């Protein structure tokens, strides 16, 4: 595949990422994805032989984005406590989308967990990146053996706030839970 083909493939992945987030992996058809990209359905198969192959590319795309974001935070935000606060702001920064569709990682993981444990395990890598990052921040704060459970607690809290805010379509709930999580962080 040449440069132009690689660019089209990347465009497909980016559009598929958004469609899968908004509609769900199982609800999004190849025909819908091809139409969103502006390709005939037959041409779509040149780039991806199956929906599973496309899903893997979407997850790879998300993983790459998360890695870059976390590296940027590590370089740009000097204090681990501030990095933890930055993590908590993710759902608030995307509040309109989170209220409408939920967390992109959480919704995909839930959907895949119902039908395909192999795909779900692959998608879980997004959470694993965040968990490892959060754990390193707690370790930098001197939390030692508590770092891993604290990281998991914060990850669970963030997913819970995304789910409940989306279920109730309530941005105030989201803000309240972020404020509570920040208060909890201050108490550590």
> Tell me: the pLDDT tens digits for 119-146?
899 899 999 999 999 999 999 999 999 9
Q: With a threshold of 0.75, does the pTM exceed it?
A: yes
CATH 1.10.357.10 in the chain: give the residue spans.
59-187
Return d(Cα 10, Cα 109) in angstroms, integer. Answer: 22
Q: Please check whether residue 148 is in contact with residue 135, taking contact to mean a CB–CB distance below 8 angstroms.
A: yes
- CATH number of the domain at 59-187, please? 1.10.357.10
CATH 1.10.10.60 in the chain: give the residue spans.
1-49
Sign, Cα dihedral of 8, 26, 29, 90: negative
> Tell me: the pLDDT tens digits for 54-84?
999 999 999 999 999 999 999 999 999 999 9
As a dihedral over the C-alpha atoms of residue 181, residue 65, residue 22, residue 118, rounded to 10 degrees, the angle is -90
> Tell me: the pLDDT tens digits for 4-60?
889 989 999 999 999 999 999 999 888 888 888 888 888 888 899 888 999 999 999
Q: Please check whether residue 94 is in contact with residue 106, taking contact to mean a CB–CB distance below 8 angstroms.
A: no
Tokens representing 184 are: 């909890």
Return d(Cα 99, Cα 103) in angstroms, integer. Answer: 9
Q: Which CATH number is 1-49's, of 1.10.10.60, 1.10.1370.30, 3.40.605.10, 2.60.40.290?
A: 1.10.10.60
């Amino acid at each position: 595949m040449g440069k132009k083909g690689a660019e089209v493939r990347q465009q497909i992945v980016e559009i598929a990422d958004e469609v899968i987030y908004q509609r769900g992996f199982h609800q999004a058809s190849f025909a819908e994805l091809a139409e969103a990209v502006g390709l005939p359905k037959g041409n779509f198969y040149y780039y991806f032989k199956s929906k599973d192959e496309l899903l893997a590319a979407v997850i790879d795309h998300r993983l790459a984005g998360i890695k870059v974001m976390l590296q940027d935070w590590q370089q740009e935000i000097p204090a681990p406590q501030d990095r933890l606060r930055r993590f908590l702001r993710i759902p608030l920064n995307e509040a309109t989308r989170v209220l409408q569709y939920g967390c992109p990682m959480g919704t995909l993981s839930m959907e895949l967990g119902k039908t395909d444990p192999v795909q779900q395990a692959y998608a879980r890598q997004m959470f694993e990146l965040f968990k490892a990052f959060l754990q390193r921040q707690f370790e930098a704060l001197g939390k030692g053996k508590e770092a891993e459970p604290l990281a998991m607690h914060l990850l669970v809290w963030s997913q819970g706030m995304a789910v409940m805010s989306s279920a109730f379509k309530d941005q105030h709930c989201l803000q309240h839970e972020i404020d509570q999580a920040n208060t909890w962080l201050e108490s550590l």
